[in-house]
Each structure stands twice: as C-alpha cells, then as structure tokens.
Amino acid sequence: MSLSPIAQVTGRGVVVAGDDIDTDRIIPARYMRCITFDGLGEYLFRDVRQTPEGKGTNHPIDDPKYKGATILISGMNFGCGSSREHAPQAIARAGFKAVIAGGFAEIFFGNSTTLGLPCATATRKDLTALMSLIQKDPATLVNFDVKKLQVTAGPLSFPVTLKASAQQGLLSGRYDAIADLLANLPKVKELAERIPSATTS
C-alpha cells in the first residue's frame, strides 16, 4: 500500500534568505532530546526567530504577512551540516509542504523526501526573481509541479530539478521506504519462512 502521491504543491511562500543554512539553525540541538517529533515545528529556526531572552527578531516566518505560508524559499546548500532528521521534521511539522532552494545537502534532501516534503532546486537567477516577487506580494500563490518539474508564481515560470528517484517516489506515493516495508510485511514474513534456517556442521 502506497502513501498519497504528491504531484503538485501549491501555496503561499515565505523567504528565509541566505546560503548554507545548516540543520543546527533549522532546529537547534537542544530540541533534539524529544522522544517523538511532535511539536518540533514550534522550534523551527528558534535561535534566529528569538533572542536568548525570548524576544522576537522579526523573522519572516513570524511576519503576519506570511502567516499560513506553506512553501519555504531559501538559498544555496540548504540543510547542510549534521544529518539530523529533526530538521526536515521541524519544517514539515511547522506546516510547510515544499522547499525551493538553490541546492540541498544530500542527507537533508533524502530525509525530506521520505517525509513527502519535496525539495526543488532552482537557479540563483530564478530564486532571486521568486524571492523578490514573494516579498513584494506575499499573497502570490506558488505552484510546484512535481511531474513537470516547473514552478509558477504570478508572471514567473521556470524549471527546477529534482532527483529522478525522488520524483518517481513522490509521484507514485512510494517515497517512504519504511512505510513501504511495513505495507509488505506479510510478504516479508512469507519469504522469511521459505528461507532455510542456517545449520551448523
């Protein structure tokens, strides 16, 4: 049994500008002591959204203009640093459905895909144009067509890239290997029973 296919993601965007935004900035290490991922969305970018005293820093995610945005737009090499799965979990649990950036760290990309959080790679030129549009008109709807590998927003339309294996998994609803394994557990057990037990001489 597959998960729901993801062919398109449409929503308003929010720009979190900057290159090399690492996983420690996305979710500080002290919030990784949780037993489950529930509630991680609250701590997304916590150390840049608040001062140590808990005062807001006017971060774009907290700007009322971008309330309800579901597409995160950022720069080059997004999600670099440590391989913590908590980073894409925090993004997804904060309500984001896709990330558009200039590139992604490989492990972050894989962890995101497994969650059904598509990560589209755009050129610097197209990213700059998209960021400018969103900042001028936060109500603009952004559409990421996973099948056509195309992003449209207002007058903008440009191609993006996505690993073929990730694209296929998202479109078929088979992007979570663990879910796929559990769905086929009866077949796994059946095969295990047919494999002869190892014997010692």
Q: pLDDT 10s per residue in the chain (201 long)?
A: 468 999 999 999 999 999 999 999 999 988 887 777 888 999 999 999 999 998 999 999 999 999 999 999 999 999 999 888 999 999 999 999 999 999 999 999 999 999 999 999 999 999 999 999 999 999 999 999 999 999 999 999 999 999 999 999 999 999 986 666 566 667 777 778 888 865 544
User: Given this model, what pLDDT does residue 36 score?
Assistant: 74
pTM exceeding 0.75: yes
Which domains does the chain carry?
A: 8-175 (3.20.19.10)
Sheet holding 119-121, edge to edge: 119-121, 98-101, 71-73, 8-15, 141-145, 150-153, 156-159
User: Given this model, what pLDDT does residue 185 score?
Assistant: 66
User: Given this model, what pLDDT does residue 3 score?
Assistant: 85
Q: How far apart are CA 101 and CA 78, in angstroms?
A: 7
3-state secondary structure of 128: helix
Q: How far apart are CA 102 and CA 124, in angstroms?
A: 6
User: Given this model, what pLDDT does residue 182 score?
Assistant: 63
Beta bridge partners of 33: none
Pairing type for strands 98-101 and 156-159 reads unpaired
